[in-house]
Amino acid sequence: MDRTEKREFVASLASVFAETSMVVVSLNKGMTVAEVTDLRRRMRGAGATFKVAKNRLATLALDGTRFDGLAPMLKGPTTLAWSKDPVAVSKAAVEFARTNEKFVLLGGALGTQTLDAAGVKALSELPSLDELRAKLVGLLVAPATRIAGVLQAPGGQLARVLAAHASKDEAA
Q: Which segments in the chain show pLDDT lower than 50?
A: none
CB within 8 Å of 120: residues ≥ 6 apart: 24, 90, 93, 94, 105, 107, 108
pLDDT at residue 150, as a whole number:
62
Q: 84 — phi, psi (to 5°)?
A: -80, -25
Residue type, 154: P
pLDDT at residue 158 in the model: 67
How far out from the chain centre does Cα 37 lie? Answer: 19
- Return the pLDDT at 41: 92
Question: DSSP per residue over 72-124, as a string?
Answer: GG--SSEEEEEESSHHHHHHHHHHHHHH-TTEEEEEEEETTEEEEHHHHHHHH
Query: By C-alpha distance, which of 117, 93, 84 is closest to 40?
Result: 93
Q: What is the pLDDT of residue 71?
A: 84
pLDDT of residue 104: 87
Q: How far apart are CA 109 and CA 63, in angstroms?
A: 14
pLDDT value at residue 151: 64
| Residue 3, pLDDT score | 85
For 71, which DSSP code?
Answer: G
Does the pTM surpass 0.75? The reply is no
The whole-number pLDDT of residue 22 equals: 87
What's the pLDDT at 113?
85
